[in-house]
Structures are given as C-alpha cells and as structure tokens.
Amino acid sequence: DSGVTQTPKHLITATGQRVTLRCSPRSGDLSVYWYQQSLDQGLQFLIQYYNGEERAKGNILERFSAQQFPDLHSELNLSSLELGDSALYFCASSVEGRGRDEQYFGPGTRLTVT
Amino acid sequence: DAKTTQPTSMDCAEGRAANLPCNHSTISGNEYVYWYRQIHSQGPQYIIHGLKNNETNEMASLIITEDRKSSTLILPHATLRDTAVYYCIVRVTDSWGKLQFGAGTQVVVTP
C-alpha cells in the first residue's frame, strides 16, 4: 500500500459525459501528479501540482482539467468523453515535486467510455 | 531528460538473481537514474534511484557504471511476485518532476 488513495476504482460512462476522478496524496506529500495509461500509448504524464499550484503539464487534452485543493487532495475532470479516453488513470504524490523525489502511485481508476 | 534503452523482455528463474540492464548514454551530470515496476495494471511502484554511487535497499541494488552511461538493477532473489514490467527512467534533479515512462522490460519469473 503506497498511501495514495484514488476513487472510484472503476467508472463506466457514455461518450459525451463528464467525470471526476479523485486522489488523496500520502500524508506529508505536497505534490500530486496525474498519469494516463492506455493500451496503445503506455504511461503518459498529464499534469503536476505542488501545494495547490500547477507546476508541469504534459500532453493533457483541453477537455481535461485538474486542480489541487487546500487540503492537498486533487481532482481530475474529464469532459466530452470519447471512446479513446478509456484508460487507467493514476495519481502519484511526492514530498517536494522535484526530480530528486520518488513518486508513489495510487491503485488507479479504470475508466471505460461506451 | 535523457532517453533510456532497455531490453523488451527477460526471463528469470525463481530464487536466482535478476539483472536488468539499462542504457542511458546521453545522461547529464544532474540527472538521477530511477527504477519503477508495474505489476499487471497496478500502480507503478518505486524501487530505487541513484545519482553516481551504487545503491541498495530492501528491494534491490542499483549499479551505475563509472561513466554513468548505463546501469543495472539487481533483484537478488527473484520470486514469482517480481513478475512485472520494469522501467528505467532518467530525471533531472531540480526540475519539476514528471516521470517519462518508456516501454520498459517485461520480466517473467518462472518456477
């Protein structure tokens, strides 16, 4: 158990809908990251927050947005969902958010868009 | 961040040491070598990281060559639970720290 929690574990929804994925970091960690893993793309970095502020952005679609709240939990919002958004979404956390930090991953949310 | 090259797959016998190579010939002086693994569809798991010196923890040992252009992850006594995809990742120490995952090495431990 990494100490990072993600909810829900599974999500099935229809195209065009909007969903919110939630992540609680390990106690004491200030930085949160979101990654997407689809069958054909592997693990892709989406976005990073540190203490509520966005710090790095990957190839995150404009239909996706995220935020980190004052209690440090984070939410990833996916809207106008398409079939290709079906994937595993992982959240990770680390103490400082820099390259010398190890990241600890949650168990993931499996999103299926039908 | 520097790119890494790993073999696509490796087999290992249970109880034997597994030696996983990684090439990172373009690594810079301020880049760490990190190893993660992912057991089928679970969240990636941190294993170990190092800058210049060899490192050891309860999970594995990391051997980095003197020129830092390659490294080897050693699982001293592989078990069936070590079957996973292993990722070697190079990261700049002070930048905001996304992990750039490649294809990794699929390690299968057999009885």
- How is residue A7 written in tokens? 């909810």
Taking Cα atoms as reference points, which of B104, B89, B13 lies closest to residue A99?
B89
Taking Cα atoms as reference points, which of A18, A109, A10, A103 lies closest to residue B96?
A103
Q: How far apart are alpha carbons A112 and A13 in whole angstroms? A: 6
User: What is the structure's pLDDT at B1?
Assistant: 66
Q: In degrees to the nearest 10, what's the CA dihedral of A58, B82, A30, B28?
A: -60
> A9 — contact with chain B (CB < 8 Å)?
no
A27 CA: distance to closest CA in chain B (Å): 17
Round the average pLDDT of chain B to a whole number and report it: 93
- Report the residue of chain B nearest A58, measured CA to CA: B98
- How is residue B19 written in tokens? 């030696």
> A42 — contact with chain B (CB < 8 Å)?
yes
A95 CA: distance to closest CA in chain B (Å): 11
List, for residues B75-90, the tens digit of each pLDDT value: 999 999 999 999 999 9
> A104 — contact with chain B (CB < 8 Å)?
yes
Q: How far apart are alpha carbons B47 and B37 in whole angstroms? A: 7
- How is residue B42 written in tokens? 């679970």
- Report the residue of chain B nearest A37, measured CA to CA: B41
Q: Which of B32, B44, B101 sits opposite A99 (nearest CB)?
A: B32
Percent share of chain B, pLDDT over 70: 98
